[in-house]
Amino acid sequence: MKEINSTEDIINLCKALISPVRIQILKLIAEKKRINLNEIASQIGLSNGAITQHMKPLFDADLIEFIYTSGKRGSQKICILKEHKFLIDILTNIDKSCMYEIEIPIGNFTRYKVYPTCGIATINELIGEVDEPRYFDAPEIKNAGILWFTKGFIEYRIPNYLKNNQMIQELQISFEISSEAPGVCPNWPSDIHFAINNIELGYWTSPGDFGGDVHGIFTPDWWDPNWNSYGLLKLLSINKQGTFIDGGKISDVNIDMLTIDSFSPIVFRISVPDDAKNIGGLTLFGKGFGNYNQDIKVRTIFCEL
């Protein structure tokens, strides 16, 4: 789910979705996962030129993405769906001069304690062996595209670029995540907890571990079909009103309770604790895996004092 609160982004989204043909195109892309423009034109019943014109507003609204793959006649342009769920806030128009955004590779964790089943891999190969937590110390982890464990935690240090005269207003963190089952099981609930600087924010229950017959859009072809292949994109927000997942409140812990200033570390923990009701593990997807081709995206919104 993507949060939209700037006037420009809202207008672009509305322009993209005003056409029934473009909604039909989006549904077709979602069904096929990957499809080239010729196939879209053939199935929608329009010329290639007309399809190209429809693609621009979809691309401008960040609904679709193009990738290039080799084909029989050289490289071909493949279209994939980037987003299909949105949280629109028309009352907030964020001044981009009062925010900064970063993306933390999922292999750039600073601490961990994990238990099997567990593992970590790059887009090219497994790192070490599965169910061996010691490989979370391997130098190759910096290139990780996926990691998983049954219980335990993993921590990331979020860069703090606040200046002395700035106060944090909201912290937004998005990531692709799922449960971790032995194999693949879409009905495998797991209570995944979140914390900042050891302050518990709340938890979200992942419904399952996804893959099998449906391969993640970006997951490499060599990946075992019996392993988890994609997750759900979640947006964790901590603001003045509390802590939210995709706009739904999960606790009353608000941004002021975190007491973050320009000198504070910002340590983000994702965990499945021993006392969770549903200990179903977690899988974290980064670039090159899953359906969203992203690592951990962080947006920090602040105001001037």
Considering the domain architecture, whether residues 76 and 107 belong to the same structural domain is answered as: no
**Confidence band for 59, pLDDT divided at 50, 70 and 90:** very high
pLDDT value of residue 193: 98
Considering the domain architecture, whether residues 99 and 217 belong to the same structural domain is answered as: yes
Considering the domain architecture, whether residues 255 and 160 belong to the same structural domain is answered as: yes
**Confidence band for 253, pLDDT divided at 50, 70 and 90:** very high
Considering the domain architecture, whether residues 120 and 6 belong to the same structural domain is answered as: no
Examine the pLDDT at 205 and tell me if it is beyond 70: yes
Q: Which domain holds residue 213?
A: 94-304
Examine the pLDDT at 93 and tell me if it is beyond 80: no
Residues 6 or more apart from 93 whose CB is under 8 A from it? 5, 6, 7
Q: Using the 3D structure, point to which of 41, 59, 86 is the last residue of a domain.
A: 86
Examine the pLDDT at 25 and tell me if it is beyond 80: yes
| φ and ψ of 205, to 5 deg | -95, 110
Considering the domain architecture, whether residues 157 and 263 belong to the same structural domain is answered as: yes
Give the CATH number of the domain where residue 51 resides.
Answer: 1.10.10.10
Considering the domain architecture, whether residues 134 and 75 belong to the same structural domain is answered as: no
Q: Using the 3D structure, point to which of 86, 109, 143 is the last residue of a domain.
A: 86
Examine the pLDDT at 199 and tell me if it is beyond 90: yes
Task: Return the number of other C-beta atoms located less than 10 Å from residue 268's C-beta.
Answer: 23
* Listed range (49-63, 111-125, 127-141, 266-280) with the worst mean pLDDT: 49-63
Examine the pLDDT at 72 and tell me if it is beyond 90: no
pLDDT value of residue 305: 87
Q: What is the pLDDT of residues 165-198, one digit of tens each?
A: 999 999 999 999 999 998 899 999 999 999 999 9
Examine the pLDDT at 1 and tell me if it is beyond 70: no
- Number of structural domains (the chain) is 2
Give the CATH number of the domain where residue 192 resides.
Answer: 2.60.120
pLDDT value of residue 215: 85
Examine the pLDDT at 91 and tell me if it is beyond 80: no
- The answer, yes or no, to whether the previous bond of 117 is cis (omega within 30 of 0) is yes
What does the pLDDT average to over 240-264? 96
Considering the domain architecture, whether residues 75 and 130 belong to the same structural domain is answered as: no
**pLDDT, mean over the chain:** 92
Considering the domain architecture, whether residues 293 and 159 belong to the same structural domain is answered as: yes
pLDDT value of residue 192: 98
pLDDT value of residue 70: 66
Q: Using the 3D structure, point to which of 32, 61, 86 is the last residue of a domain.
A: 86
Considering the domain architecture, whether residues 14 and 42 belong to the same structural domain is answered as: yes
Considering the domain architecture, whether residues 103 and 17 belong to the same structural domain is answered as: no
